[in-house]
Chains A and B, each alone.
Chain A
Amino acid sequence: DSGVTQTPKHLITATGQRVTLRCSPRSGDLSVYWYQQSLDQGLQFLIQYYNGEERAKGNILERFSAQQFPDLHSELNLSSLELGDSALYFCASSARGPTGGELFFGEGSRLTVL
């Protein structure tokens, strides 16, 4: 158990809908990362937060947004969902502040868009 918790574990929804994925980092970790894993794209970096502020952005679509709250949990919002958004979404946290270091991953949230 890495200490990173993601909910929900599985989510099935329809095209055009909006979902929110939640991540609770390890106790004390200030950095949160979001990744999307799909069969054809591998693990794609989406976005990183450090202590409530956006730190780095990757291949995140405009339909997606995220935030990190004062209690350090993070949410990834996916809207106007398309079939191609079906993937496993991972959250990870890091203890080494904004300069990186080992990432601890959650089990992921599997999103299926029908």
Chain B
Amino acid sequence: AQRVTQPEKLLSVFKGAPVELKCNYSYSGSPELFWYVQYSRQRLQLLLRHISRESIKGFTADLNKGETSFHLKKPFAQEEDSAMYYCAPQGGATNKLIFGTGTLLAVQP
């Protein structure tokens, strides 16, 4: 069965501290992996995808196929990073996108 696990419901860090939001997935085939973010009072939007291998707002995510993980990292958290983050693999015969339960990142001043 397709499954995404984000073990932390809430991650609270201080400004300037490193951040790692964990994501493990169980998915047939080779899914495309995404991180979506929802800032307060805003729409859910794409943060980054693994195929682009780029850094967005200082965030990076490395796909580890052996561990089936796609953890999101940022070396120095900022208060404006406070938001809900969702890991989302996409693939399979129908290419549907499923979401993890999300991690609420709270960056304290």
Contact = CB atoms under 8 A, between A and B. Distances in A.
A45 B99 contact: yes
Given A100-B32, A102-B46, A103-B46, A42 B101 contact: yes
B96 interface: yes
Contacts of A105: 43-45
Contact of A48 (B36, B94, B102): B94
Contacts of B101: 41-43
A58 B96 contact: yes
B95 A103 contact: no
Counting contact residues on chain B (CB < 8 A from A), the size range is 20 to 34
B101 to A, nearest CB: 4
Given A42-B102, A43-B86, A43-B102, A100 B45 contact: no
A25 interface: no
Counting contact residues on chain A (CB < 8 A from B), the size range is 20 to 34
B63 interface: no
Given A100-B32, A100-B90, A107 B43 contact: yes
Contact of B95 (A43, A92, A98): A98
Contacts of A100: 32, 90-91, 95-97
Nearest to B49: A102
Contacts of B49: 102
Interface of A: 2, 33, 35, 41-45, 48, 55-56, 58, 90, 92, 98-108
Interface of B: 32, 34, 36, 43-46, 49, 86, 90-91, 94-102
12 contacts: A2-B45, A43-B44, A43-B86, A44-B99, A45-B96, A45-B99, A98-B95, A100-B32, A100-B90, A103-B97, A105-B45, A106-B43
